[in-house]
Structure 1
């Protein structure tokens, strides 16, 4: 028991230090392009001496820098790199929007784009059809990882480190697929770049989903066509699936991803 407590304390201190460092980075971003130590300390609600210590560590790691002429602080190259990476993911919204609108017009079904958020697959853009399925396609909706076609595609292509916590949680729920069934689904999605579901998330609602890739094979989003029976059958070998895959390939090509 004593050893467990001894091991937990340093770990807690590291987490707290990371949280403080993150708060200071956010403060630098909010006060960009540069700010004084006193103003930053006031902004984040910490003693200037404490902020100064963290700033030195951030400067050493490249996440912050100090102007020798003014002594003001700003974001460093490492922080800019992280920011650009985040913006690169958001670019998929701009690239995918015209294709989603075309898909919606051609299929007369609701089409949407989801990206990976801090709570899982998150809808960020929707092109609503006349017969809209609004309960699962509102912007900001978070979809289940294993209980939606969109989530299953994320599960197949994202690094295991990102999906494991949510997957393990959902596998404990009633009605979750067995590990064997899930692995078979993953392999099928990786082969076809397509996932079809019928009434999985909502009875009478079918969906088709396909992955979007950027340079280096990095998954940047998933596009989905969703519709109600009997009008939308979501057949994996049907015309809607072929058109969805065409759209996914086009978006991926524009993002610098591999076109299969």
Structure 2
């Protein structure tokens, strides 16, 4: 079979071989870091050097790959960086989160909420209710308190205080209690999640974790809600582990290294 026949067969199977081979080399460069020899790149991509070389030449012409003229070693080029930044800029937590939230809800069988910071405080913008577990559900647009909720603790812990001062004053009727805020921030950053034993009112509990973008800025929080005394949402609970896994996965999709 000649090259054209092979390419045609690959197209019929749903892909073009040249693209998949080139991508294997890009992945090898991504995982191996800058300054890799032709032999090392080819080995990482599981192909002979003679096959890898023309692909690397083509990728270099597009700026996806660069070659050091002195060492002749390869690395990812500015074209690869632009592709990565473009993918990150097109990622939207409001569109990415629901699928992950649905999976999380299926795992914990409890209500799951996504909140972002609004003018009045953390605001629920996506939700997956679980009616058989709770007698009430939170409405879209519901604003959660910064100082007395797990969701609020996430925003307090990862956003600059000056951005939240007005909201805290409106919420509490006084200036921020710096000692109380420091305690919340220390605990939340240490644990990675925020647990509340008095979510919404004394009958409920919750566990929350944050979602971060490529600049490591907090963009949203995911919260699981349960009934106090009937639901284990402690730091050691499976739910706490799952919500942290979910937010970390979403953060990585948005370009975070956390």
TM-score by length of 2: 0.60
Q: Distance in 2 between the 1:198 and 1:105 partners?
A: 23
Which residue is equivalent to 2:205?
Answer: 206
- Asked whether 1:124 is paired with 2:129, we answer no
Residues 108 and 130, structure 1, Cα contact 8 Å, conserved in 2? no
Give 1:89 deviation, angstroms: 10
Give 1:211 deviation, angstroms: 0.5
- Asked whether 1:142 is paired with 2:158, we answer no
Cα pair distance change 1:133/1:142, threshold 3 Å: farther
Which residue is equivalent to 1:79?
Answer: none
Partner deviation per Cα, 1:12-42 (whole Å, 9 max, x = no partner): xxxxxxxxxxxxxxxxxxxxxxxxxxxxxxx
Residues 212 and 254, structure 2, Cα contact 8 Å, conserved in 1? yes
Q: Distance in 2 between the 1:134 and 1:114 partners?
A: 21
Which residue is equivalent to 2:39?
Answer: none
Cα pair distance change 1:101/1:189, threshold 3 Å: same
Which residue is equivalent to 2:190?
Answer: 191
Cα pair distance change 1:143/1:136, threshold 3 Å: farther
Cα pair distance change 1:200/1:106, threshold 3 Å: closer
Cα pair distance change 1:216/1:96, threshold 3 Å: same
Cα pair distance change 1:252/1:192, threshold 3 Å: same
3-state DSSP class of the match of 2:210?
strand
Cα pair distance change 1:166/1:104, threshold 3 Å: same
3-state DSSP class of the match of 1:216?
coil
Question: Gaps (5+ residues) in structure 2?
Answer: 1-88
Which residue is equivalent to 2:97?
Answer: 96
Q: Distance in 2 between the 1:220 and 1:134 partners?
A: 29
Residues 149 and 198, structure 2, Cα contact 8 Å, conserved in 1? no
Residues 119 and 167, structure 2, Cα contact 8 Å, conserved in 1? no
Aligned CA-pair RMSD: 2.5
Write out aligned runs for 1:18-37 (5 A).
Answer: none
Q: Distance in 1 between the 2:231 and 2:206 partners?
A: 8
Write out aligned runs for 1:105-184 (5 A).
Answer: 105-131=106-132, 133=134, 135=136, 137-172=138-173, 179-184=178-183
Residues 95 and 255, structure 1, Cα contact 8 Å, conserved in 2? no
Q: Distance in 1 between the 2:121 and 2:91 partners?
A: 16
Larger Rg: 2
Question: Gaps (5+ residues) in structure 1?
Answer: 1-87
TM-score by length of 1: 0.60
Give 1:133 deviation, angstroms: 4.4
Q: Distance in 1 between the 2:90 and 2:180 partners?
A: 31
